[in-house]
Amino acid sequence: MRGSKALAVAVRDPQGHIVIHTEPVNASLYNGRISRTPFLRGLAMLWDSLGLGMRALMYSANVSAGEVGVEFKGPLAWGTTAIALIFGLGIFLLVPRGLAGLIEPTFGPWVSALAEGVIRLLIFIGYIWLIGRMEEIRRVFAYHGAEHKTINAYEAGLDLTVPNVQRQTVQHPRCGTAFLLTVVILSIFLFAPLNVLLPYGVGLIMRIALLPVVAMLGYEFIRFSARHLDSPIMRAIIAPNLAMQKLTTREPDDTMVQVAIEALKKVLDAEQNRPLNPEYLIP
């Protein structure tokens, strides 16, 4: 869980005890001018979230394995993040463009652009579905569901108890899964003109260059949609985002919910009893 002042990671050790790590977040990023600058805030916060998420996973894996003296930061964490980014670029950017390029001479650039977007979407959904069949990932997705339920209970003004949390839905409009699906959809519209205006190689480079733009637009859309959930039109627009979360969340058991509650309580303690801005809770 991440707030405006601190990050908290709660993990069960091999003895079943909940171990909690907390550390301050970048104050200038979450409370300074960047946090109030549209588009720029999205890029900065998403990059920071990627690093925090990778480090949190490494930390939780080490604690679960019973290792002592775990270092929560370092070159290994950033190296892992870099490898993940390179892998993501290859699978979700270069492969769809390469496959769509095979039909471009026959059907033209606009059909190729549409095919590229569809292929990227299918790869994304297929990848999530495939890893979701792994036992370890199913457990991770169940903890993801516990995060959503806990945040939903907090935002509903309920006491953070296991029964209150378990009554909540595992879906959340500001989920990272919703952001990723939004990015995939936006990329169809932003990348399509590149097929017509630029040569193949230059178009690939421009796709990579435009990724920050797509990410910034996606982040602002998620913020905007979360503020207008009372609109039937907006609820219809984000329905695919919520439906996609069926692949990335599972119903948690009570022990998982207890872990999520303890993490959120630590974040709330760091806020010193101030109401927590829900925009910082992007599970």
* Residue 107 counted as domain residue: yes
Q: How far is CA 109 from CA 89, 102, 194, in A?
A: 21, 11, 9
Query: Do residues 20 and 5 lie in contact, with contact meaning Cβ atoms separated by under 8 Å?
Result: no
DSSP conformational letter for 258:
H
Burial of 53 (0-12, 13-18, 19+ CB in 10 A): middle
Give this prediction's pTM.
0.85
- 18 is a domain residue: no
Read off the pLDDT of residues 100-115 as tens digits, 9 standing for 90 and up. Answer: 989 999 999 889 999 9
**Which tokens is 256 given?**
């998982």
| Residue 168 within a domain | yes
- Quote the pLDDT of residue 247: 93
- Residue 26 is predicted with a pLDDT of 77
**CA 156 to CA 149: how far, in whole Å?**
10
Write down the pLDDT at residue 3: 80
User: Is 131 a member of any domain?
Assistant: yes
The answer to whether residue 252 is domain-embedded is yes
Helix, strand and coil content of the chain, in percent to the nearest 5, comes to 70, 5, 25
Selection from 228, 147, 148, 225 nearest residue 186 by Cα: 225
Note down the domain range covering 154.
85-280
pLDDT at 139: 92
Structure token pair of residue 67: 């290792």
Query: What's the chain's Rg over C-alpha atoms?
Result: 20
Record the tokens describing residue 40, joined without a space: 């720029």
Q: At what angle do helices 176-197 and 200-227 cross, to 10 degrees?
A: 140
Tell me, yes or no, whether 92 lies in a domain.
yes
Nearest to 244 by CA among 161, 142, 172: 172
pLDDT for the residue numbered 69: 53
Residue 149 in contact with residue 169, Cβ under 8 Å? yes
Is residue 10 a part of any domain in this protein? no
pLDDT for the residue numbered 87:
84
Q: Specify the pLDDT at position 76.
A: 63
Check residue 281 and give its pLDDT: 47
Distance of CA 58 to the CA centre of its chain: 16
- Between CA 102 and CA 151 the distance in angstroms is 45
pLDDT per position in the chain (283 positions), as tens? 888 788 889 998 888 889 998 888 877 777 777 777 887 877 787 777 777 777 777 788 788 777 655 555 566 666 766 787 788 888 888 899 999 989 999 999 889 999 999 999 999 999 999 999 999 899 999 999 999 999 999 989 999 999 999 999 999 988 888 888 888 899 988 898 988 888 888 988 999 899 889 988 988 898 888 888 889 999 899 899 889 999 999 999 999 999 999 999 998 888 876 656 555 445 5
Amino acid present at 224:
F
The structural domain count of the chain equals 1
CA distances from 88 to 41, 94, 277, 280 (A): 22, 9, 31, 25
Phi first, then psi, for residue 229 (nearest 5°) are -70, -15
Residue 255 domain-assigned?
yes
